[in-house]
Structure 1
Amino acid sequence: MAATPRPRRSVLYMPGSNPRALAKARTLAADGLILDLEDAVAPDAKEEARRLVVAALAEGGYGGRELLLRVNGLATPWGQADLVAAATAGADAVLIPKVESADMVRQVEAALVAAGAPDSLALWCMIETPRGVLRVAEIAEASPRLAGLVMGTSDLAKDLHCAHTPDRQPLVTALGLTLLAARANGLAALDGVHLDLDDELGFEAACRQGRDFGFDGKTLIHPKTIAAANRVFAPSSLELDWSRRIIAAHAEAQAAGRGVVVVDGRLVEQLHVDNARRLVDLAARIGELDAAQAEAGR
């Protein structure tokens, strides 16, 4: 299941044990939500969190936001029950934590199918351990349901014993390998979280770095970071203007039987037009999502 071309600039983790947060998420401008049953939920609150998330999904009202349900791992006491609930809860996808092999993905898929999951239910994988990074190429090919990979940079940094530096150089190899695996298989790719909520400049720098690497968006831990992520990962007005110009110029050249077109002294080839169309399409889909969110908020 290749990733659908939808906005994923900002994807916010929401603790499944917090009913106020689950309700508040319906009003936030995030492109997507990760309704979390794993790290954000204490062991003694796992079952109640599952019930709350299933109820929130049944109630709906999330206005076109992409909804990922992060379950606990199959090896935990809660994993199997999470998957049974997630199979028919109505989320867009199930997010599997700490994936370290293709077999882990297939086991989760089998459990979901056995519980009645529809064909439309996608799988996403967290890449957050050294073994997961080393096996990310095989993980990305594990299932036709797979739609995206999510970097878990906090857990990965812990396991690597590396520092959280502003330039994120200790994580560049893992970020690059994960992005390569995603793009080789037509999957979406989300960058990891930024932990210092008071470091606004550092957060924007991390977003720009993730965008420049090629990630579709950033996972977030607080609503106050949504606006910056949406701004950085969206096509700029200059990018859109240039994209529309070269699309038009290339079409005009083709109609005239010319194979080469130059715009403002720059050679424009089909690959540039393909990327331009991607940006224009993304901007249109952002507009559609904004409209859906506004309609849901009325």
Structure 2
Amino acid sequence: MTWRSMLYVPAHVARFVEKAPGTGADAILLDLEDAVPVAEKGRARAALAAAVPVARGGGASVFVRVNRPLTLAVGDIEAAAAAGADGILLTKATGPEHVALAAEVLAGCETRPMVIFPMVETSAALARIEDIARASPRVAGLMVGAEDLSAECGAAPDGELMVHAKLRAVFAANAAGIPALGTLGTVADYGDREAVRAMALRSRRAGFSGASCIHPSIVAVLNEGFAPSAAEIDLAKRQIAAGIEAAKVGKGAFVVDGMMVDEPVLIRARKVLARAGR
């Protein structure tokens, strides 16, 4: 499954949780980490029991972003499992051993099959991103936390260095057979919808399948930007139809709309239709 839009919602703020199902997000990310003050961590964790079923009310997947250090993470994972969440975002993943440890905790407490989204947020973890991506069959997607990583590096979260890190995540995710989630920039300025739309389109062309956001106003923009357009779907259908006809006469390459089509192009066309749900 792919998720075009993943909306962060602080788990301890009931009014935000109640609105989440109506946002149209493909996934709701109930946050126990950055959006929750230290004094509220316990209350946010306890709120998961009610928040998870509410957030799922619109048909979205529900994941929980857990804390570091491990002393907090284990309790968070157990609470997410008890509440019936679909998986966890493993913040500040250090390496494959960290992912394996989280998977072991899940195996001992889950009430339904749960997945893991490792978040690479340090230079040390980025150096091990390929191993992190394939650390467990539970890994369902890969994310780079540009805010933390850029702060560590003294770089801008939307600068060239973070673009490099995120593009590396695309290769690592593809090698592991999982989606890469993110944008080649930041969606912190959610008020500029056109800029977000352009960034989503650019990021999809770079290999990302979806992205997270902190405000519901851009969920629809992400859903549109990370989905194939009507024109792309039409072209893909015609390329595949032409490929079927070409195969009947033993042709491996042919022309559609003045452009050469061969097997790599057909692979992309099939992926377009798969993403469009056709």
Alignment of 1:278-289 (within 5 A): 278-284=271-277
Pick the aligned partner of 1:37 from 32, 41, 44: 32
What's 1:227 paired with?
Answer: 220
CA–CA distance in 2 between the matches of 1:135 and 1:13? 26
- The structural deviation recorded for 1:98 is 0.5
1:245 maps to 2:234: no
1:101 corresponding residue in structure 2: 95
The Cα shift of 1:184 comes to 0.5
Q: Measure the CA separation in 2 of the matches of 1:209 and 1:40.
A: 28
* Match of residue 144, structure 1, among 137, 146, 157: 137
Structure 2 stretches lacking a partner, 5+ long: none
Aligned counterparts of 1:60 and 1:209: Cα–Cα separation in 2: 29
C-alpha RMSD over aligned residues: 1.9
CA offsets per residue over residues 141-171 of structure 1, 9 Å max, x none? 2111111112211111111111245xx3131
Runs of 4+ in 1 over 6 A off after TM superposition: none
Against the structure 1 CA distance between its residues 25 and 116, is the aligned structure 2 distance closer, same or farther, given a 3 Å change threshold? closer
- Deviations for 1:47-74, whole angstroms, at most 9, x for unmatched residues? 2112222212245643331221111124
Call closer, same or farther: CA 1:202–1:116 in 2, change over 3 Å: closer
Q: Which moved more, 1:194-203 or 1:96-105?
A: 194-203
Q: How does 1:207-218 map to 2 (within 5 A)?
A: 207-218=200-211
Aligned AA (2:13): N
Q: Are 2:40 and 1:49 equivalent residues in the alignment? A: no
Aligned pair partner of 2:261 in 249, 268, 283: 268
Q: What code does the residue aligned with 1:113 have? A: A
2:196 maps to a residue whose letter is F
Whole-angstrom distance in 2 between the partners of 1:59 and 1:30: 14
Q: How many residues align?
A: 276
**Unpaired segments of 5 or more residues in structure 1?**
286-298
CA distance in 1, matches of 2:172, 2:198: 24
The normalised TM-score by structure 2 is 0.92
Pairing of 1:127-142 with structure 2 (within 5 A) = 127-142=120-135
1:157 corresponding residue in structure 2: 150
Secondary structure of the corresponding residue to residue 126 of structure 2: helix
> Could you tell me how far 1:28 is from its partner in structure 2?
0.8
Instruction: Tell me how far 1:209 sits from its aligned partner.
Output: 2.8
> Which letter maps to 1:157?
S
* 1:15 paired residue number: 10
**Residues 220 and 48 from structure 1, CA distance in 2 versus in 1: closer, same or farther, beyond 3 angstroms?**
same
| Higher relative contact order, structure no. (Cα contacts within 8 Å, ≥ 6 residues apart) | 1
User: Which whole-Å CA distance do the structure 1 matches of 2:134 and 2:92 have between them?
Assistant: 16
Matches within 5 A, 1:86-97: 86-97=80-91
Matching residue's letter, 1:200: R
CA contact (8 A) 2:17 2:54 kept: no
